[in-house]
Copies of this chain bind each other. A is one copy, B any other.
Amino acid sequence: MAKLTSRSEDYSKWYNELVVKADLAENSGVRGCMVIKPYGYAIWEKMRDEMDKKFKETGHVNAYFPLFVPKSLFEAEEKNAEGFAKECAVVTHYRLKTDPDNPSKLIVDPDAKLEEELIVRPTSEAIIWNTYKNWIQSYRDLPILINQWANVVRWEMRTRLFLRTAEFLWQEGHTAHATKDEAVEEAEKMNKVYADFAENFMAMPVIQGLKTPSERFAGADETYCIEALMQDGKALQAGTSHFLGQNFAKAFDVKFTNKEGKIEHAWATSWGTSTRLMGALIMTHSDDFGLVLPPTLAPIQVVIVPIFKGEEQLEQISEVALDIQAKLRAKGISVKFDNDTQNKPGWKFAEYELKGVPVRIAMGPRDLENKSVEIARRDNLTKEVCSIEGLDSYIEELLKTIQQDLYNKASEFRKDNMTKVDTYEEFKKVLEEKGGFIYAHWDGTAEEEEQIKDETKATIRCIPLDDDIEEGISLISGKPSKRRVLFAKAY
């Protein structure tokens, strides 16, 4: 197996190679669309299941809405339409026919043109609010707390596996409320759910904040987000939650009678995370040897590799290994005993390192004699010899330790790559030399934001929601600023 390009050599290449070599995903025969391979999909399933649980615990239910949005609905909410019109796949026909000039080929049947074009959903506010119109008459019908797991399509010109693909998998929550306060509370709550998921399940620290007006979702009054820091010093937006005001209710005429008997438009939120999280996961924890997975997300948490010569030794080791496997499984730990006889232990070690299996147990004849095994941690590449007795409990604890250590390591990295700057010169210098999150003062105008973006490629990732308030003067205009905002170059 050829070694990965190292991160220091070419970070971008390292990422692309890793995604493919660790069997997570690959490019497909369709421009910009990826194939999510079984190993990658198994990780995504774990993300999905955990988020789904959190959504249900917070009172949400799942539903499914059409893949297609008729053009007339698509254009109903003006800002939303404008935001997505430039990158949407359009269905215009509903039939192919045999090419009269070449009977082995098919052509689009010109007689099967749709009366109205259908847009493949880039996001589902339009189709969903067109449906909610029929579901909402009275305040008693509210709130509606629905989530959808689906595929969406955005015709991006430059794509990268997981990070930016023409088609991706995601969840999109779409809620309707009787009051503005309730909708704002929902948007905030779901952003916190995302933060909790990112930190406690993905072991990925995030900054919670608000987007600036120019970075908001098309059609939103306010966009909350979680921003993570990747190992190359670039930011990655890992989830967003939007307070949509009454924009979609007005566009789709969704009115209800409130408690006071007055008719008003409903209030909306939407919130989403996607397979982009796979990219975030990879770039937060992995190293030059391959994937590093937090135990919560590892399809295989523990691998047992026997070191043996000949069948007899393998049999002796197998007996003990299968017993260990059974005990670990009884604790809900996923274990693979790799008794394949084709590949050498060294090959297996490299393979499971590449795949990010958190704990490797190696055992040979001498280990058996000593009633011990060798345990290797994937996260910090340390090894130790452990007694077989009580191994299951030891590993159960070890997995928790690894999960916490990964979070701590990522937090340390972020701390080391978070800089407060007070001048534009310093800003550019830090950005150039170090990257990372830069906390700086901004005057609140789109002009200053735009100028900084044009000149440095750094954007305001968010206006953090934490309590770290500190007044100052803005980077370029020198106008007063009430708090620092978070800048970074971003994926």
Interface residues on chain A, size class = 35 or more
Is A41 touching B64 in the complex (CB atoms < 8 A)?
yes
Is A105 touching B73 in the complex (CB atoms < 8 A)?
no
| A93 touches B (CB below 8 Å) | yes
Interface stretch (choices A6-14, A84-92, A260-268): A84-92
Is A38 touching B68 in the complex (CB atoms < 8 A)?
no
Is A89 touching B91 in the complex (CB atoms < 8 A)?
yes
- Cβ distance A121 to chain B, nearest Cβ, rounded Å: 10
- Cβ distance A220 to chain B, nearest Cβ, rounded Å: 20
| A193 touches B (CB below 8 Å) | no
Residues of B within 8 Å of A92, CB to CB, are 90-93, 108
Is A34 touching B66 in the complex (CB atoms < 8 A)?
yes
Residues of B within 8 Å of A236, CB to CB, are none
Residues of B within 8 Å of A41, CB to CB, are 61-64
Residues of B within 8 Å of A322, CB to CB, are none
Contacts A75-B105, A96-B119, A131-B29 given: A62-B88 contact, CB under 8 Å? Answer: no
Is B127 touching A28 in the complex (CB atoms < 8 A)?
yes
- Cβ distance A130 to chain B, nearest Cβ, rounded Å: 5
Is A33 touching B66 in the complex (CB atoms < 8 A)?
yes
| A146 touches B (CB below 8 Å) | yes
A42 CA to B87 CA in the complex, in Å?
A: 33
Q: Which residue of the partner chain B has the closest CB to A154?
A: B94
- Binary flags per residue of A146-186, CB closer than 8 Å to B gives 1, else 0: 10001101010000000000010100000000000000000
- Taking a contact as CB atoms closer than 8 A, the residue among B36, B97, B118 that contacts A85 in the complex is B97
| A117 touches B (CB below 8 Å) | yes
Is B90 touching A86 in the complex (CB atoms < 8 A)?
no
- Cβ distance A362 to chain B, nearest Cβ, rounded Å: 24
| A256 touches B (CB below 8 Å) | no
Residues of B within 8 Å of A130, CB to CB, are 29
Within 8 A of B (CB), among A237-256: none
- Binary flags per residue of A38-55, CB closer than 8 Å to B gives 1, else 0: 100110110000000000
Q: Which residue of the partner chain B has the closest CB to A49?
A: B49
A413 CA to B201 CA in the complex, in Å?
A: 50
- Cβ distance A32 to chain B, nearest Cβ, rounded Å: 9
Contacts A28-B131, A85-B96, A105-B75 given: A167-B90 contact, CB under 8 Å? Answer: no
- Cβ distance A262 to chain B, nearest Cβ, rounded Å: 20
| A81 touches B (CB below 8 Å) | yes
Residues of B within 8 Å of A29, CB to CB, are 66, 70, 73, 127, 130-131
Is B87 touching A63 in the complex (CB atoms < 8 A)?
no
Within 8 A of B (CB), among A1-40: 26, 28-30, 33-38
Q: Which residue of the partner chain B has the closest CB to A134?
A: B26
- Cβ distance A132 to chain B, nearest Cβ, rounded Å: 10
Q: Which residue of the partner chain B has the closest CB to A106?
A: B75
A106 CA to B155 CA in the complex, in Å?
A: 17
Is A68 touching B108 in the complex (CB atoms < 8 A)?
no
Is A167 touching B36 in the complex (CB atoms < 8 A)?
no
- Taking a contact as CB atoms closer than 8 A, the residue among B65, B67, B85, B89 that contacts A106 in the complex is B85
- Identify the interface centre among A28, A29, A68, A117: most chain B CB within 10 Å of its CB: A29
A134 CA to B23 CA in the complex, in Å?
A: 13
| A382 touches B (CB below 8 Å) | no
Q: Which residue of the partner chain B has the closest CB to A146?
A: B38
Is B96 touching A66 in the complex (CB atoms < 8 A)?
no
Is B37 touching A68 in the complex (CB atoms < 8 A)?
no
- Cβ distance A376 to chain B, nearest Cβ, rounded Å: 26
| A71 touches B (CB below 8 Å) | yes
Is A68 touching B167 in the complex (CB atoms < 8 A)?
yes
- Cβ distance A137 to chain B, nearest Cβ, rounded Å: 15
Contacts A96-B71, A131-B29, A146-B38 given: A167-B66 contact, CB under 8 Å? Answer: yes
Contacts A63-B38, A67-B167, A68-B30 given: A91-B91 contact, CB under 8 Å? Answer: yes
By Cβ-Cβ distance, the 6 closest A-B pairs, closest first, are: A33-B66, A38-B61, A36-B64, A85-B96, A94-B155, A90-B93
8 CB-based A-B contacts, threshold 8 Å: A33-B68, A41-B63, A42-B61, A90-B93, A90-B108, A91-B91, A95-B155, A96-B119
